[in-house]
Structure 1
Amino acid sequence: MNHPTPLPSESAVANPRDLTPFRDVDTWIFDLDNTLYPAHTNLFAQVDERMSEYVAGLLNLERDAAHSLQKDYYRRYGTTLRGLMLEHGINPDGFLEFVHDIDHSKVVPDDRLAAAVEALPGRRFIMTNGTVAHARAIAERLGVHHHFEDIFDIVAADLVPKPHADTYARFWDRHAIDPTHSAMFEDLSRNLAVPHENGMRTVLVVPEGTREVFREDWELEGRNAPHVEYVTDDLAGFLQRIMARPRQPIEASR
């Protein structure tokens, strides 16, 4: 039997043209950095630089040593902040203010994405390991901020980042979200494991050019993991394809 050739923006993990699992989704959850805006904007590189600068000043390290330690904490603890809190007992407020003091002007309005997000039925959220202020600044520049019900940030998560299971549970409880009727969009495969285990539709966003920008090798791994149901290099286009399919009425699906 011949199978259709997978679209370049979607993974062979799931049938790339079978989007029926989204037909009864009524809650849409999006990561922020390198997900809602394209990775080639390289905005997070500014945050990354600020984190290295903070670590160097805090621990009196050379820039390269501070950068290596920062990345080690990021990989082991989910965020550099959590590593610094657990290993060095820092106060998070000063860190969060310092590292998110960046130039957001590289983010430009994305009318195509705004229209695609607006068309999604039901509720929409941003769930980020950053701050509300950082997320709002980006969402406003993209032109999508008014399409989201809430931004769940690292402070709302009690400073425990994704991919910790308790953080997802806290988010779901706060907004009375049923994961089995939800979809999660992320740029890191590991952050989709818990959503998948709890019945969410999971989509890994890996725009073209990701490897040419500031990303660690491990951040690009896992696109073929069992917990990744779909992979796309075009978030707006993927959302448009979901909405182009006949949908099951939400009330009838429950």
Structure 2
Amino acid sequence: MTEPADEPRLLTIANRFAHVDTWVFDLDNTLYPASSDLWPKIDHRITLFMIRLFGLDGMSSRALQKHYYKHYGTTLRGLMTEHGVDADAFLKFVHDIDRSSLPPNHSLAAAIAALPGRKLILTNGSREHALDTAKQLAIDHIFEDVFDIVAADFIAKPHEGAYERFFDRHAIEPKRSALFEDIARNLIIPHARGMTTVLVTPEAGHEEKRESWEIAHGREPHVDFTTNDLAGFLEGLTATSQPQ
């Protein structure tokens, strides 16, 4: 959690990011808060897709869904590998959700825009979902590009190949980059490659909506910083450099 801090501590944190010229953000439950209903809607549609695909009951479909997710990084990768499911049909179906409940986040937009350097989205979802969601948040104009699951050849975070493709596609120097993510295991490879890592946790008073094995609290060695207020954390990185 981001705690109130005096100016020396803020300067210390900001100095840890002074070398960063590329800012990379996960999408779901990171750029929008975990308290939003967007991820539960997507999660439900994944289960529904599997019910229709296999003719299983909801409980069995969900168990299989989570098995593939844990083993492959995404349910889609498991379905493609073991059942030859068409990726485009899956992505269109599961991301066909109502985003109107998500309000624009002008504070976040200003905080990201103030960061020096490039800004990119790295997601296991689709490019269209990322763009539609970023537009709903009123932050779509800030990002240089979106690197999605298709661009990664359907190799999902946390697997090393996803990051290697991302680094190559966008000519990224990991040691000059920072990654903001809501799932701790997705920070293991980036941290090993030299990225500064930030775990984004649910806001105070909101419970985790992830699987129990996904939940982390920022004490892992591959997590450099933890915050439950992304906009506030980013504002702190640039406020110390502003003239008083």
- Shorter chain as normaliser: what TM range? over 0.9
- Matches for 1:199-214 after TM superposition, within 5 Å: 199-208=194-203, 212=207, 214=209
CA distance in 1, matches of 2:215, 2:205: 8
Tell me: CA distance 1:211–1:64, structure 2 relative to 1, closer, same or farther (3 Å). Answer: farther
CA distance in 2, matches of 1:39, 1:16: 28
Following TM superposition, where does structure 1 have runs of at least 4 consecutive aligned residues deviating by more than 6 angstroms? none
Secondary structure, counterpart of 1:18 in structure 2: helix
CA distance in 1, matches of 2:137, 2:96: 18
**What are the superposed Cα offsets for residues 187-224 of structure 1, whole Å, 9 maximum, x if unpaired?**
00000011100111000000225863532112212621
Work out which of the residue numbers 134, 154, 157 in structure 2 matches 1:162: 157
CA distance in 1, matches of 2:95, 2:2: 36
Tell me: CA distance 1:143–1:198, structure 2 relative to 1, closer, same or farther (3 Å). Answer: same
Q: TM-score normalized by structure 1?
A: 0.89
Work out which of the residue numbers 178, 186, 200 in structure 2 matches 1:183: 178
Work out which of the residue numbers 25, 33, 47 in structure 2 matches 1:52: 47
* Structure 1 residue runs without a partner (length 5+): 1-5, 248-254
Tell me: CA distance 1:84–1:69, structure 2 relative to 1, closer, same or farther (3 Å). Answer: same
- Matches for 1:118-137 after TM superposition, within 5 Å: 118-137=113-132
The number of equivalent residue pairs is 239
The residue type paired with residue 159 of structure 1 is F
Cα offset, 1:7, TM superposition: 4.7
Whether contact under 8 Å (1:73, 1:83) holds in the other structure is: yes
Aligned twin of 1:76: 71
Cα offset, 1:87, TM superposition: 1.6
Secondary structure, counterpart of 1:136 in structure 2: helix
Aligned twin of 2:18: 23
- Matches for 1:1-254 after TM superposition, within 5 Å: 7-8=2-3, 18-208=13-203, 212=207, 214-221=209-216, 223-246=218-241
Q: TM-score normalized by structure 2?
A: 0.92
CA distance in 2, matches of 1:64, 1:211: 25
Tell me: CA distance 1:227–1:27, structure 2 relative to 1, closer, same or farther (3 Å). Answer: same
The residue type paired with residue 238 of structure 2 is M
CA distance in 1, matches of 2:208, 2:172: 34
CA distance in 1, matches of 2:91, 2:126: 7
Cα RMSD (Å): 2.1
